[in-house]
Structure 1
């Protein structure tokens, strides 16, 4: 059997979503060749995928999700952030996109802002919008079902090697620490996009491919066997130093492209997804948080041929737009 077929076989075993509610898949729509919203939700259900992230409210998707039992991360669209700093607009947003569906759509998180950096103009709106939406969620009695949060990336972390030394950058602290306080007060996790691929691609001299792919045979000199755990634990360490040692982290995106960049091949991507899912299924957590699975959303459901940026950005899909599995995956 060829190496690629062996890896695809491993992946078809590893992607058993029915037994792993800690794994979801992000549903991006930057393509002009994607299936209908109902077909996509049916594809999630047919493959036993228990979680979905969408990047803006879409009423077609929400209708299709009714009764599906799929946990949902609903992002606030970036272009609406400024308007939702007005509490009446936030109330209207919730009344349009959440309350009409809340009885039979499993909203889990509302994510206010995706990878917003302290220097971005949008940064000033993140906490006020979180507060406004949280207030409305309380008013409509959904606070036990839905947690309001935001999504960060690793650029706000510095001193990340070893992970125990990690802190938020000085520029990030005035922005992120009030958000952390909000999350602690409301029992919400912090969402983070965690990409060993980009760390590897940008520093191949110091990051072995095996370390990024979970295929390293032993722990390194700082006690880590894979880069994913090290990146997650660097966030936990930064949170501890910001006074939030018990705040949970949910991985809102993690994936590997099949082409378009260094290390971006079908074989390598298959290895990453299989081993990441196996790692999550093990329930072993990370060295810093060893008890329990790390809730993780794979990026992404489809290749998105209209996504801007580097060529690799258009090749993260687990499925082709015709709904066939990119990796010959048998989810069930």
Structure 2
């Protein structure tokens, strides 16, 4: 009996949290990037409860952390898992690729829903032509391994790219890839078209504003009301930079002969803090960017050039990560502090249990039951 004393107030806290945020976020198609370059993050089992309380059911990892994948067993959360750039050369070897899939992916299926593998991340950002040459063979070998194991229908293979791959991004209709990357991107696009996997981009309007704060409209990059910009070739009006960036990538892909590849945003976000020379990195701007972005996602908006295709977006990131290298902004992209407090208020009032509560709950197996109860109550609130 003593071990159950905390449960009643905890349950009411969860229900209260849901009632305050369910209208804003229930049914959103938003995904979240779950980075772990930190030494103060909550355990994956606690994060599982947090994401369930937020009704976020799509998560992107940068590796295949077994602790995370196990913690989300039977949680109805869909995962993108990552193969870091350091694995690319090995993944061109069929035996090594098979070993990785069998050891890192297969043991978690079907208990944990793994829908995608990103092979490499922003490979073309640095001038490492050797790494460039490994990317497509690694993707092809991982894909063939999935085919051989009968997993290719449920797990897709792709990679994520920074917008550094573009030579031109405005107007969006004139978007083009860098000429020096054409020999790598052309066959990569053919692979995407063949296996019907999306082209992922990490798109950050913040970088454009940070680089030219006196020239780039803050309202334009934050989805705030503004006159927008007209593409002179199409007469389409763009009221925010993110949509213009996505359409520029579509145009670049089309210029290489493909119109059947979907562009998805694997990362986008805004830092809540930064160094003195990092213009715009404030809590207010981060709240506006992500809050307005979530509203757009909730409306299932497409871009001006693709109005009938809602943009698939993963927000970066779930937590501030205190060990990330680089400027201060890199450590301040999180929606949450590691202790579960929201960095700013955009309606995402989730619940992160304290460790002793998780331990007690696991002993009596009460959280799955009340998780179901919470979802029922959430749906009833919408009736």
TM over 0.5: yes
The one of 318, 325, 331 equivalent to 1:314 is: 331
- Any gaps of 5 or more consecutive residues in structure 1? 1-11
2:59–2:78 contact (8 Å) kept in structure 1: yes
Q: For residue 243 of structure 2, what is the aligned residue in structure 1? A: 229
Question: Which moved further from structure 2: 211-220 or 83-92?
Answer: 211-220
Distance 1:131 1:327 in 2: 42
CA contact (8 A) 1:14 1:275 kept: no
Instruction: Name the CA distance, whole Å, in 2 between partners of 1:17 and 1:63.
Output: 26
- Distance change in 2, residues 1:310/1:26 (3 Å): same
Cα deviation for residue 14 of structure 1 reads 9.8
Partner of 2:297: 280
C-alpha deviations, 1:91-150, integer Å up to 9, x for none?
010001111112121212100111111732322211111011101111121212111001
Larger Rg: 2
Deviations 1:256-310 (A, max 9, x none): 0001021011111000001111112212210111013211110001111110011
Give 2:95's aligned residue. 88
The match for 2:309 among 257, 279, 292 is 292
State whether residues 197 and 256 of structure 1, in contact with CA within 8 Å, keep that contact through their aligned partners in structure 2: yes
Are positions 1:18 and 2:26 aligned together? yes
- 2:271 corresponds in structure 1 to 257
2:220–2:228 contact (8 Å) kept in structure 1: no
For the structure 1 residues 14 and 199, does the alpha-carbon distance in structure 2 shift closer, same or farther, using more than 3 Å as the test?
farther
Instruction: Say whether residues 1:112 and 2:119 are aligned partners.
Output: yes
Q: Scaled by the length of structure 2, what TM-score is found?
A: 0.80
Among residues 66, 77, 82, which one is paired with 1:70 in the alignment?
A: 77
Q: Which has the higher helix share?
A: 2
The CA deviation string for residues 198-247 of structure 1, in whole angstroms up to 9 with x for no partner, is 11111223210000001133332322110010011000000000111121
Contact 1:283 1:291 in 2 (8 A): no
* CA 1:201–1:316: 2 relative to 1, 3 Å: same
The total of aligned residue pairs comes to 320
TM-score by length of structure 1 reads 0.92
**Residue 13 of structure 1: CA displacement?**
6.0
Give, in angstroms, the shift of residue 330 of structure 1: 3.9
User: Aligned with 1:98: secondary structure?
Assistant: helix
CA distance in 2: counterparts of 1:220 and 1:330, whole angstroms:
30
* CA contact 2:64–2:105 (8 Å) conserved in 1: no
Q: Is the 8 A contact 1:34 1:321 kept in 2?
A: yes
Name the SS for the 1:44 alignment partner.
Answer: helix
Q: Secondary structure at the match of 1:143?
A: coil
The structure-2 alpha-carbon separation of the partners of 1:167 and 1:92, relative to structure 1 and needing over 3 Å to count, comes to same
Return the offset for 1:30.
Answer: 0.9
Quote the Cα distance in structure 2 between the aligned partners of 1:283 and 1:330: 18
Secondary structure (helix, strand or coil) at the match of 2:219 reads helix
